[in-house]
Structure 1
Amino acid sequence: MGKEIADATYNFLDGETGNETGVVPVPGNYVFDVKRMHQFGLDSINLPKGAELVNKTPGFYEQYKYWVIGVVAAFMFLIACFLIAVYYIVRINHLKDNLEKSGEELLVAKEKAEEANRLKTAFLANMSHEIRTPLNAIVGFSSVLVGDDATSEEKAQYCDIIQKNSDLLLHLINDILDISRMESGRIKFVEEECDVVELCQTALSTAEYARRTQAIYQFQTPVSSLILKTDAQRLKQVLINLLSNAGKFTPSGFIRLAIKVNKEDNCLEFSVTDTGCGIPAGKSERVFERFEKLNEYSQGTGLGLSICKLIVENLGGKIWVDKNYKEGARFVFTHPLNEK
């Protein structure tokens, strides 16, 4: 650019004006040497706009750019490995928990299987004894009836024994079918309106008809009539079972069926009280289990109270043994009070 200006000046001084050369500004920028600026004590703040600096000391990132990229990449790789490790640790712990839970469930299933096997053995042992006893009586006395040696009175007595053992066998089979259907949920409860007082009197009459004791049957009620919506047949079955059970262990004294209206808990309380041998303290809760019997040599399968509990719970009530009563045994159960 300087050379062109000089040439144009010489030509102008020599009078050569025919070929004029104009001065053309060329766009450019300011370039400053940083080291020289430091020598002169100049500050980069006061430089013109757009000025370029050379010999500038590179920054930390520019100087260690690849090191920084490598360290960041390694750090990210370690974080990724840590997250993968955490994922697998959590997954292993989850699988461990599931394995422990499965082990516990397997242990419970094993215990249930062992319990079922024990109950099956107990069931077969009880059934073989309970069924064989009335069958032997029926077959034996039927054979005696066929002969001509027995008198008419003896034959009447044998017929009575056969009838009682037939009823016992039928009751036994009905108990087995009832508890099987109730536990499998295949039995339906049909609710209808009935007079509870009349129902109790019918159950009491049925128990008295099959009397096996010298005890006096009593009925205690605060009302002469009470209409409830319930399954009358199942409720009567509970009452008859409890009364019959009391008759087995009460040779004398009394057996009392009582009802009481409990407005506070909105329920009707039934109780069967006897003056029999009572229930040992350790068996007051176990009597409602299947095949549980106070006396192993007494008749019965140990299913009656289990059936009572299932029926009462299906009717919306509870059943228990009154531990405060010491003169015999007292069974109490409730029924929701939906009187009209």
Structure 2
Amino acid sequence: MFAAQIVSFAAYPTKTDSLYTLLHNATSPADSLRILYNIHDLNTKDENKHLNATLYEVARRAGNTRAQLDILRIIGNDYLGNDSAQTLVLNEAMSLPHSDEQKETVTFLRLLIVSTRALFTDSDDKQKWMLEALDRYSTRTNRTDRLENLEQLYTVCIYLGSTIQSDLLEKYLEESEDMINALPFGLYALRNMYYAHTALIHTTGGQFEKAVNADRHLLTIMDQMEKEYRANGREFKNYNRNRYICYRRMLCNYPALSPEEVEEYFNRINALAEESDEIREDIESTSLPEIYYRMARKEYDKALPALARVTNMDIPGSAALKPRLYKMLIEAAQATGDKNLLLESLIAYTTIQSDYIKSKSAERYRELQIIYDVDRLNRQKNEIATESHKSKIKLQSSIIFISAISFTVLFILCMILLRLYRRAKKLSKGLAESNMNLKKERDVLKRTQNELITARDAANRAAKLKTAFIDNMSCQMQEPISAIAGYTQLIVDSLDDKDRLRLEKYSNLVMLNTELVLTMLYDVLTMSDLNKKKLAIAKSYISVKTLCDVAMNSVASKLQPGVHMVYAKENQEDIEIYTDPQRVQQVLVNLLQNAVKFTMTGQITLDWELDADKSHITFSVTDTGCGIPADKSEIIFDRFERLNSYKEGVGLGLPISRTVASLLKGEVVLDSGYTDGARFLFTIPCVDSSR
């Protein structure tokens, strides 16, 4: 009878009739709460808008504070976009008895309000609020309150994520994750909010592996939450819609997935679609899971129709996906030879990229503003610390001075008593002079130390700005250069045979120089990744012949007339090694390109040998070129070092090769005993040491 006064039964669908019958017969608020939760879990989101207030009132009457907090979190999520309503929910949560869960719920609701403001306000207001949050975080006095620190830092992350994507955001996201994982209660809602936000940011930024890892965390959280709900009697609660979003996003980031994982997640999506009309309708209307699946499997002919259709659709929330979808469309059109569609998609993609470059320029400008403001805040903080330090030094100096006077007086009195006044006076004078000299030396040392710290900080900031500029310019130049190559090839392909023959050599020159520029850009980006220690190593078993064939085919077109390239083990039995295929090919291609560049006549030989216990393999690249002087055998591995300034390149190939070899626990050296040209030796482990 208690629940019957609150709920109108006629407003709900017939599928929950049996639950409403039980609810009608419930004798206590606790029984009503359990049944209402099951009804809530069976209803749609729109149906629950009328039920949430009733559910909260029943939880209050039952004295179940945990249920009240849970319902307030649900209501706060439902009001995303309405910060006034969310503020009312926050005030209600703050009025409940304090506990670890209550405090974390308050933090969660405050961050929901920040998310609403970040989504639905203009960039100037977001910039202002972000700087205020950054100022509060940088100048906070209570560094032991984990929730307060998390709220301040993650507020900065939310505003940064809605305006720019930078290394600063990456740093703050990692710090936020550590704070969330260290919370005493470990509220699922906070972790869910963080990983959902992080997955979106990394997906938009093209950081596929990080995005997939974030979604894996989300799936684990869903499994844990469902397990707890089942244990508490909520047998109808499920997160199928949320799982579908995670699996779809993971397929979107298929470069970070193995073929087996692609199959597994696609099959899970299809299984969810069989259970949910909503999911099935989404798949049928957008075809996004099918597109990602086909592109991951390189089934371009099957992906092409859906891609052509979806790129012309206005899917809610798909603005960030448009460039990615057009890149897939270009890739599929190239693979299938559909030149008309390729031309149309290139034109559309160029327009999108033009807008993207403009937006990225604005982002970089805002990022520089933020870096400047952060630096200003740090300077202010350092000035405060310096003033405090000076006050302490002044106090210490006063204490030392008073102590010295007291000691001197006591010493003189002792000398008077011992009738050694004159000698004591001389000693006191000498002590005072020594003290003054020490003070002068201390002051000189402190000034020198401060100057060195200032110079070091300035150098570090300059180095960071230089690295950010190089990375930004390298990344931004790749797309336009690739577009130049694509358009050049399209122009030549669209001409008749007569004009094609006449213009083909110019097209080849454009393609060659484009390839050279891209190679230099890739070298710069690779060296940047190596500097940041971002280059990942993914080992697997691979055929040695396959590695050598791929490397030789990559440089075969650049051989000089009359120069032959030979694989010495062509007629011998192939073997498999355990290593990172991509990194080994990268080193072999660099060494072969170096040989091709300096060999005008003769032969280039690629060979390999196993050591005595077959635990290491040594690749050798031998040429009959001009050779390398013995005194230059180590200098050539320095960055930007080039023995011949007239040859193309920026002098990064050999340094990159040596660094990559080091990551593989190996080395790259010049064989100084070979004098008919140059021979480089590349040695790495070739077995799985974990077995």
TM-score interval, normalised by the smaller of the two chains: 0.5 to 0.7
Q: Which residue of 1 aligns with 2:609?
A: 260
Q: Which residue of 2 aligns with 1:209?
A: 557
Q: How far apart in 1 are the matches of 2:654 and 2:513?
A: 21
Q: Which residue of 1 aligns with 2:527?
A: 179
Q: Which residue of 2 aligns with 1:226?
A: 575
Deviation, 1:163, is 1.5
CA distance 1:312–1:102, change in 2 (3 Å): farther
Trace 1:118-267 onto structure 2 (pairs within 5 A). 151-221=499-569, 224-263=573-612, 266-267=615-616
Contact 2:540–2:581 (CA under 8 A) maintained in structure 1: yes
Contact 1:138–1:166 (CA under 8 A) maintained in structure 2: no
CA distance 1:317–1:84, change in 2 (3 Å): farther
TM-score (norm 2): 0.32
Q: How far apart in 2 are the matches of 1:327 and 1:333?
A: 19
Contact 2:610–2:618 (CA under 8 A) maintained in structure 1: yes
Contact 2:566–2:603 (CA under 8 A) maintained in structure 1: yes
Trace 1:92-103 onto structure 2 (pairs within 5 A). none
Q: Determine helix, strand or coil for the equivalent of 2:646.
A: coil
Contact 1:194–1:230 (CA under 8 A) maintained in structure 2: yes
Q: How far apart in 1 are the matches of 2:573 and 2:438?
A: 69
Contact 1:221–1:258 (CA under 8 A) maintained in structure 2: yes
Q: How far apart in 1 are the matches of 2:438 and 2:492?
A: 79
Offset from partner CA, 1:272-300 (integer Å, 9 cap, x none): 00001101222111111111112111111
Contact 2:492–2:507 (CA under 8 A) maintained in structure 1: no
Contact 2:638–2:655 (CA under 8 A) maintained in structure 1: yes
Q: How far apart in 1 are the matches of 2:447 and 2:612?
A: 51
Greater share of residues in helix: 2
CA distance 1:146–1:219, change in 2 (3 Å): closer
Q: How far apart in 2 are the matches of 1:199 and 1:141?
A: 29
**Counterpart among 317, 321, 326 of residue 666 in structure 2:** 317
Q: How far apart in 2 are the matches of 1:109 and 1:327?
A: 49
Q: How far apart in 2 are the matches of 1:271 and 1:179?
A: 23
TM-score (norm 1): 0.59
Deviation, 1:263, is 2.4
Q: How far apart in 1 are the matches of 2:502 and 2:622?
A: 37
Q: Determine helix, strand or coil for the equivalent of 1:257.
A: strand
Offset from partner CA, 1:215-238 (integer Å, 9 cap, x none): 111112396233222211111011
Q: How far apart in 1 are the matches of 2:575 and 2:635?
A: 33
Pick which of 223-232 and 196-205 moved more.
223-232
Offset from partner CA, 1:44-96 (integer Å, 9 cap, x none): xxxxxxxxxxxxxxxxxxxxxxxxx959xxxxxxxxxx999999999999999
The amino acid across from 2:562 in the alignment is Q
Q: Which residue of 1 aligns with 2:676?
A: 327
Contact 2:560–2:601 (CA under 8 A) maintained in structure 1: no
Q: How far apart in 1 are the matches of 2:635 and 2:626?
A: 17
Contact 2:493–2:500 (CA under 8 A) maintained in structure 1: no
Q: How far apart in 2 are the matches of 1:267 and 1:86?
A: 65
Greater share of residues in strand: 1
Q: How far apart in 2 are the matches of 1:311 and 1:106?
A: 34
Deviation, 1:254, is 0.8
Q: Which residue of 2 aligns with 1:42?
A: none
Deviation, 1:111, is 11
Offset from partner CA, 1:27-51 (integer Å, 9 cap, x none): xxxxxxxxxxxxxxxxxxxxxxxxx
Pick which of 197-206 and 242-251 moved more.
197-206
Q: Determine helix, strand or coil for the equivalent of 1:323.
A: coil
CA distance 1:239–1:102, change in 2 (3 Å): farther
Q: How far apart in 2 are the matches of 1:193 and 1:89?
A: 69
- Displaced runs of 4+ in structure 1, greater than 6 A? 82-113, 136-148
Q: How far apart in 2 are the matches of 1:88 and 1:213?
A: 79
1:278 equivalenced with 2:627 (yes/no): yes
Contact 1:319–1:331 (CA under 8 A) maintained in structure 2: yes
Q: How far apart in 2 are the matches of 1:213 and 1:95?
A: 70
The amino acid across from 1:235 in the alignment is V
Unaligned 5+ segments in structure 1 are 1-68, 72-81, 117-135
Deviation, 1:142, is 11
The amino acid across from 2:549 in the alignment is Q
Question: What is the aligned-residue identity percentage?
Answer: 30
Q: Determine helix, strand or coil for the equivalent of 1:197.
A: helix
Trace 1:72-111 onto structure 2 (pairs within 5 A). none
Offset from partner CA, 1:253-281 (integer Å, 9 cap, x none): 11011111012694211110000110122
The amino acid across from 1:274 in the alignment is D
Q: Which has the higher contact order (CA 8 A, sep 6+)?
A: 1
Deviation, 1:160, is 1.6
Contact 1:269–1:335 (CA under 8 A) maintained in structure 2: yes
Q: Which of the two has higher C-alpha Rg?
A: 1
Contact 2:642–2:651 (CA under 8 A) maintained in structure 1: yes
Q: Determine helix, strand or coil for the equivalent of 1:325.
A: coil
Q: Determine helix, strand or coil for the equivalent of 2:682.
A: strand
Contact 1:221–1:260 (CA under 8 A) maintained in structure 2: no
Deviation, 1:174, is 0.7
The amino acid across from 1:261 in the alignment is L
Deviation, 1:210, is 3.6
Contact 2:579–2:686 (CA under 8 A) maintained in structure 1: no
Deviation, 1:322, is 0.7
Q: Which residue of 2 aligns with 1:74?
A: none
Q: How far apart in 2 are the matches of 1:112 and 1:330?
A: 38
The amino acid across from 1:160 in the alignment is N
Contact 1:276–1:327 (CA under 8 A) maintained in structure 2: yes
Q: Determine helix, strand or coil for the equivalent of 1:176.
A: helix
Q: Determine helix, strand or coil for the equivalent of 1:160.
A: helix
Q: How far apart in 2 are the matches of 1:164 and 1:181?
A: 26
CA distance 1:278–1:143, change in 2 (3 Å): same
Offset from partner CA, 1:167-195 (integer Å, 9 cap, x none): 11211111111111111212212222212
Q: How far apart in 2 are the matches of 1:145 and 1:227?
A: 41
Contact 1:192–1:231 (CA under 8 A) maintained in structure 2: yes
Aligned-residue Cα RMSD (Å) equals 5.0
The amino acid across from 1:332 in the alignment is L
Q: How far apart in 2 are the matches of 1:253 and 1:292?
A: 26
Contact 2:524–2:652 (CA under 8 A) maintained in structure 1: yes
Aligned residues: 268
